[in-house]
Structure 1
Amino acid sequence: MALEIERRFLVRSDAWRSSAGPGQALRQGYLAASAEGVTVRMRLRGMKEAWLTLKAAADAVGLIRHEFEYPIPVADAEALWDLAPHRLEKVRHQLDCPGGDWVVDCFQGENAPLVLAEVELASAQVDLVIPPWCGQEITGESRWSNAVLSQHPIQAWPLEDRCRFGWV
């Protein structure tokens, strides 16, 4: 069974850019989501690659999830994008950082100017060195999941919440 072990952080500065590769445009359409955290998503990377992904919680804290990902034809993904009731767009940067596979996602549209960092780990017991540009850890906080952000983008959050994070 495929498992994803991932920690997530708000990003508090642009210092990550010195370790970043070129950005990759991603479009994600959420076809189904349950209150229990099961999601079905299609993802397009540019106009060249596409996947269908199913995710479900595998622990109580949100660190470990079941993840099943299947390549699909780009034309099918475009059709699913049109059918998806909830969508988001972002630019993903791969990072050259120790401790795991780090990425930074710069959200666009109604989720701009949100910037999140994620690190995929080989084990939940890894002693992770968190880079200084990472801010608050948001692992397991559903409000920050891509599926929830596609339904409740940060530009629709109460003004007080947006001000607290400096997005106004």
Structure 2
Amino acid sequence: MPLEIERKFLVRSDAWRDQATHSERLRDGLIARQDGLKVRVRCYGGRTTLCVKSGRRGLSREEFEYDIPADHADAIFAHCEGRILEKTRHYVPGDSGVWEVDVYHGALEGVVIAEIEIPTETTIVTIPDWVGEEVTGDPRYSKSNMLTARSRAAKVRELRRAGLASL
């Protein structure tokens, strides 16, 4: 089974930017989520894919990704309204492998997360100075939960502007 083993961290500074070798824009639409299983449609680097990820067990989860035609991806995105994320992924080499630094746009503007895929759960990772707190497995930093939290905060701001926040 294809297994993804990764660790996720907040980013504490922009020092990584000078080290990035390349970047690509990603568009990610959540199709379905149930009991930790997620199904997404993705567009990045000239690829369009359907991706299925199992729930996380420790640092690991199963990940299946299949290329699909671009017009199929466009049709699927139409069913993901409100659950589409856009980000720029920057690739930064490090002592323990290549870090993927995701800078979110749109609804998650300002969120920057660094991830590193590792061969085993016991692999020692050298943490660069620009990497901050580890958030692997922290539900507050799942894409869906971050999007929900931002959406709720925006609604509260709207209510406050309208003078209805105390209702």
Which residue, out of 144, 148, 154, partners 2:150?
Answer: 154
What does the per-residue CA deviation read over 1:84-108, in whole Å, with 9 as the maximum and x for residues that have no partner? 1411100001111121331000000
CA contact (8 A) 1:111 1:155 kept: no
Aligned residues: 154
Q: Does 1:23 align with 2:50?
A: no
Larger Rg: 2
Q: Secondary structure at the match of 1:139?
A: coil
CA contact (8 A) 2:9 2:136 kept: yes
Could you tell me which runs of 5 or more consecutive residues in structure 2 were left unpaired when the two chains were aligned: 157-167
Judged with a 3 Å threshold, the aligned counterparts in structure 2 of structure 1 residues 12 and 137 are, in CA distance, closer, same or farther, namely same
Give aligned-pair identity as a percent. 39
What residue is the counterpart of 2:47 in the other structure?
49
TM-score (norm 2): 0.85
What residue is the counterpart of 2:92 in the other structure?
95
Could you tell me which runs of 5 or more consecutive residues in structure 1 were left unpaired when the two chains were aligned: 160-168
CA contact (8 A) 1:100 1:122 kept: no
Moved segments of 4+, more than 2 Å: 146-149, 153-159
**Residue correspondence of structure 1 range 11-160 to structure 2 within 5 A:** 11-34=11-34, 36-45=35-44, 48-59=46-57, 61=58, 63-85=59-81, 86-149=83-146, 151-152=147-148, 154=150, 156-157=152-153
CA contact (8 A) 1:53 1:69 kept: yes
Q: Distance in 1 between matches of 2:153 and 2:36?
A: 21
Q: Distance in 2 between matches of 1:41 and 1:10?
A: 23
Q: Distance in 1 between matches of 2:97 and 2:22?
A: 18
CA contact (8 A) 2:56 2:137 kept: no
